Amino acid sequence: MSKYKIAVYAICKNEEQFVNRWVDSMSEADEIYVTDTGSTDSTVEKLRNKGVIVNTVNLSFWRFDVARNISLSFVPKDFDICVCTDLDEILEPGWRELLENVWEKDKTTCVKYTYNWSFNPNGTPSITFWYEKIHNRKNYRWIHPVHEVLEYYGKNLCIYSYEEKIHLNHYPDSSKSRGQYLELLELSVKEKPDDDRNVHYLGREYMFYEMWDKCIETLKMHLKMPTALWKDERCASMRYIARAYKNKNDLKKSMIWLYRAIAEAPYLREPYVEMAQLAYIQKDWLKVYYMITEALKIEENPKTYINEDFCWDYTIYDLGTISCYELGLIKKSLQFARKAVEMNPNNERLSNNLKIIENAAKTTNYSQ
């Protein structure tokens, strides 16, 4: 018998392709509520045919927090637990039992669980981090126009429970535009200029748009903020500044910022790998080898959104292959080449590199 009354709620627009898969994965809930914000395809019809309670709204000015708060308002107040997801996500089977077992009545207000944001070609998770969009029905609201987060406003303390075995998997539509994000992030920073998280996101968005000077200016501002204390995020700001300088062809400043990023968070692979990539451009093979060696010493992939998938795929081994070959370390180059192909067997360039190095190894008797 169920311990709690659980609702799933979501917002959507023109997502008919995801309806069946999404509803099936959410069906362990007692009810599913969707707020449609203007679909012109068959999304609403398909949802209702699957038994979903659908409400339609039209927003004159789009904000994610407003849309999610409207969506939450349609969930009756007698529900104990609310699970917020998007239609391009699925919960793995058995999530309800796991959730009910970890939820502590009259204590838990929010649950953190595993979010697999992206996947490798072989289907294994690539970028994974803790997520927190499962919460009790009362005392929560969404804030920020984009990259919205839950804000707890209850009188008692916010108490988290953790369940790593709850997996929410993200399978996005890569063709979907994120064109509205920049304007909404600029609005977020204007509304709350002291929110370091949004300043970081805005600087990153300028990077995505290749607005290098604004990226550098904004992320430097982020690093100066007294509340910007999370080293992982500070390291990311430094790496993004380095990328901006790299794209401005100022490799010296790019290198300086990557050294700062390494010093800020030496326990993360990301700054080492990006330094190796920069050294590759400069044909500094010894530095490439040193940096990927240091990166490989870090074996734990921390569960934060800061993770970069290229630090955990074949990239490191590819860099190791080339740098060792150039340094005359044929045996080591061969080891890296085999690992790179193992991780990405369909990459023709990696396979060709392996053949070249195998031939080189035979002539020097380094094939073992």
> Is the residue at 64 inside a domain?
yes
Percentage with pLDDT > 90 across the chain: 88
- Res 125: pLDDT: 87
Q: How far is CA 163 from the centre of its chain?
A: 19
Work out the pLDDT band at 3, boundaries 50, 70, 90: confident
Average pLDDT over residues 135-148: 96
Work out the pLDDT band at 365, boundaries 50, 70, 90: low
Work out the pLDDT band at 167, boundaries 50, 70, 90: very high
- Reported as a single tens digit per residue, the pLDDT across 243-288 is 999 999 999 999 999 999 999 999 999 999 999 999 999 999 999 9
> Is the residue at 163 inside a domain?
yes
CATH number of residue 300's parent domain: 1.25.40.10
> Is the residue at 306 inside a domain?
yes
Statement to judge: residues 111 and 217 lie in one domain: no
- Res 124: pLDDT: 85
- In which residue are the tokens 């968070």 written? 265
Q: Does residue 332 surpass a pLDDT of 70?
A: yes
Average pLDDT over residues 103-132: 92
Distance CA 364, CA 330 (A): 8
- Domain interval for residue 201: 181-312
Assigned token pair, 211: 């607005």
| Helix or strand (DSSP H, E) at 103 | none
CATH number of residue 71's parent domain: 3.90.550.10
Average pLDDT over residues 142-152: 96
- Res 304: pLDDT: 84
CB count within 10 Å of CB 144 equals: 22
Q: Would you call 168 helix, strand, or coil by DSSP?
A: strand
- Res 1: pLDDT: 63
CB 139 within 8 A of CB 152: yes
Contacts of 85 (CB under 8 A, 6+ apart): 8, 10, 22, 26, 91, 133, 168
Last residue of a domain, one of 170, 195, 212: 170
Statement to judge: residues 295 and 248 lie in one domain: yes
